[in-house]
Amino acid sequence: MPVTTLNEVRPAAAGTPPSPRPLPLAAAVALAVVAGLALLAAFPPYGWWPLAAVGVAALAAAAHRRRARAGAALGFLTGVTLFAPLLAWTNLHTGYLPWVLLSLSQAAYMALLGAATAYVSPLVDRRRALWPVATALLWVGQEALRDRTPFGGFPWGRLAFSQGDSPLLRLAGLGGAPLVTVAVALAGGLLATLSWRSWRRPRPHTVAPAVGLAAVVAAALAVPVGVRGGGEQVTVAIVQGNVPRLGLDFNAQRQAVLDNHVEATLGLARQVTAGQARRPDLVVWPENSSDIDPLRDTTAGARISRAADTIGAPILVGAVLRGPGEGQVRNAGLLWRPGSGPDTGQLYTKRHPVPFAEYVPMRNLARMVSKQVDRIRADFVPGDTPGVLRTGDAVLGDVICFEVAYDGLVRDTVTGGAELLVVQTNNATFDESEALQQMAMVRLRAVEHGRGALMASTVGVSGFVSPDGRVDGATGFNTGAVVVRQIRLGTGSTPATRMGVWPEVALLVAAGLVLAGAAVRRRRPVPPG
């Protein structure tokens, strides 16, 4: 007799074979909530990464054998339970409406996942070994869609970003974030398969999912991580200047923010002169460290030049630049050299401005939803070239703020020659949870591309990340800090770097085949039992 749960068989009349049944609705609803809570606990600031697989398993079991509409409702419930608290930092200074709309929009993708999970039930009932595989592929499909739509997508909450301390993080070097997500979801599917059985009638073949689960972890541990190639060592300083006050009006005191970063750099120079610190080859300031355009404001430019001349090293400045057109602005990383000032040939303009934060799509319609959009007086103009910046001692791969969440924006800096990944960010409008979630993304990128990496924030968390994903010198939140480290440059390439998007494409094709197989299966009668 096939393996069943205790509750999945409906009592049948004499001579009628029993039909497969889902879990009772109350149990399914409870499992959907448990799924969201388990997924939430896997992400920073909690970081209980094994619970990501538990959350995947709970949603898989909740939606199994239900109608697609019911599966969608359960997926939506999981999504709200996950995203509402995960993205709570978005409501700190903008009000509840943007937070609610963003959380609901992300939960809608989880609804699609729940519907797809329910849809493939006849297929996985027929071939139970397909359940973990189908679960993993559907998760990748959901994330691929969410990462790209609408307005360029919002990749926050990808399973891969919950695995900073997990052995599965090693898989990023083979296939990037999609492969890590597959491994986590596959582990969750194996847990669901292992649990979906009658514990009163244990069967020997139920050992197979447990063996498969162990095999996933063992395979990840076998993947090597570390520096690719033999690059030189450079000394890099992160300057976290802090802001006068957190919130949307942090830049109302733009001069104070710039002064904080200048003074912190001058303080480091005094330590170097006194022999208390190593002289850096590069100083990195965060995003928005100069919201006064230093290319047009001579006072701001002179302050930065003084800092660069005194420390005797180039400074990567996070600056808001006016232009190129009238009323336009750019969010940029600009290299400022000692003795010569701004090197406009080494300038990166953020390619993916944040919708409704740095530019407003459909402004008239958006204003009807919230007048907060009028805080954005000028839309930021996107750049069109990768952030490959040459300092003389190193080639940097610069991305700004939440660009680190996008696979392609980071990868093309490495294929362009980047030896060190740099993330300039401003967390003054959010909280420490958001900063820690962003640092988890930096950790994955370091492993994915075999590069040392760093994150420089105005208020924290800043720090260095080694190519095996370990964080060094992490700063506190809402405080000033300077961290100096030696870091080895990377010169080789990982399989993930070389293959780019193709592993994800292959996984999406496989997901399509699973859905097609389920469509064929649903046209056939279910066999007895």
**CATH, residue 388:** 3.60.110.10
Better-scored residue on pLDDT, 374 or 255: 255
Examine residue 150 and say whether the peptide bond preceding it is cis (omega within 30 degrees of 0): yes
Is 506 found in the same domain as 437?
no
> CA nearest 492: which of 188, 194, 171, 229?
229
Residue 371 is among the residues annotated as catalytic for this protein = no
**How many Å separate Cα 148 from the centre of its chain?**
13
Is 214 found in the same domain as 236?
no
Give the tens place of pLDDT for each residue, 254-306: 889 999 999 999 999 999 999 999 999 999 999 999 999 999 999 999 999 99
Percent of residues, the chain, with pLDDT higher than 90: 74
Better-scored residue on pLDDT, 37 or 201: 37
pLDDT at 207 over 50: yes
Is 271 found in the same domain as 190?
no
Better-scored residue on pLDDT, 128 or 236: 236
Determine if the pTM surpasses 0.95.
no
CA gap 263, 255 in Å, rounded: 12
Per-residue tokens: 498 = 């070389």
CA gap 401, 388 in Å, rounded: 16
Is 406 found in the same domain as 474?
yes
400 falls within a domain: yes
Is 239 found in the same domain as 171?
no
Q: What pLDDT does residue 206 have?
A: 54
Number of domains composing the chain: 2
470 falls within a domain: yes
**By the 8 A CB rule, do 241 and 260 touch?**
yes
Per-residue tokens: 116 = 């797809």
Beta bridge partners of 456: 424
The residue from 8, 143, 350, 358 that is catalytic is 350
Q: What pLDDT does residue 246 have?
A: 56
DSSP conformation class of 490: P
CA gap 216, 136 in Å, rounded: 12
Examine residue 314 and say whether the peptide bond preceding it is cis (omega within 30 degrees of 0): no
CA gap 172, 419 in Å, rounded: 18
Q: Quickly state the pLDDT bin for 199 (edges 50, 70, 90).
A: very low
Q: Quickly state the pLDDT bin for 230 (edges 50, 70, 90).
A: low
Q: What pLDDT does residue 428 have?
A: 86
Q: Quickly state the pLDDT bin for 84 (edges 50, 70, 90).
A: very high
Q: What is the mean pLDDT of residues 153-166?
A: 96
6 falls within a domain: no
pLDDT at 153 over 80: yes
Dihedral through CA 423, CA 427, CA 432, CA 436, nearest 10? -20
Per-residue tokens: 315 = 């400074």
Is 433 found in the same domain as 326?
yes
Angle at 348 between CA 344 and CA 353, to 5 degrees: 135
CA gap 308, 266 in Å, rounded: 9
Better-scored residue on pLDDT, 196 or 413: 413
Is 187 found in the same domain as 277?
no
Count CB neighbours of 64 within 10 A: 26
Q: Quickly state the pLDDT bin for 17 (edges 50, 70, 90).
A: very low
CA gap 327, 380 in Å, rounded: 10
Burial of 287 (0-12, 13-18, 19+ CB in 10 A): buried
Distances (CA, A) of 309 to 58, 183, 338, 482: 58, 49, 4, 18
Inter-helix orientation angle 68-86/25-42, to 10°: 30
Residue 326 is among the residues annotated as catalytic for this protein = no
10 falls within a domain: no
CA gap 436, 444 in Å, rounded: 13
Is 514 found in the same domain as 433?
no
Per-residue tokens: 191 = 């847990």
pLDDT at 249 over 70: no
Compute the residue count for the chain.
529
Q: What pLDDT does residue 461 have?
A: 96
Q: Which amino acid is at 423?
A: V
The residue from 401, 403, 448, 504 that is catalytic is 401
14 falls within a domain: no
124 falls within a domain: yes
DSSP conformation class of 349: E
Is 361 found in the same domain as 308?
yes
508 falls within a domain: yes
Query: What count of Cα atoms within 13 Å lies in the side-chain half-sphere of residue 517?
Result: 18
Strand order across the 463-465 sheet: 388-390, 395-400, 420-425, 452-457, 463-465, 471-472
The residue from 8, 143, 287, 403 that is catalytic is 287
Count CB neighbours of 150 within 10 A: 10
pLDDT at 172 over 80: yes
Count CB neighbours of 229 within 10 A: 13
Q: What pLDDT does residue 12 have?
A: 42
Strand order across the 233-240 sheet: 341-349, 329-337, 315-322, 282-284, 233-240, 481-488
Q: pLDDT averaged over the chain?
A: 88
Is 309 found in the same domain as 163?
no
Give the tens place of pLDDT for each residue, 92-121: 655 688 889 899 999 999 999 999 999 999
Is 333 found in the same domain as 217?
no
pLDDT at 526 over 90: no
Give the tens place of pLDDT for each residue, 468-481: 999 999 999 999 99
Residue 8 is among the residues annotated as catalytic for this protein = no
Beta bridge partners of 343: 335
20 falls within a domain: no
Residue ranges making up the domain that contains 85: 25-198+206-224+502-523
Is 277 found in the same domain as 211?
no
Q: What pLDDT does residue 14 have?
A: 42
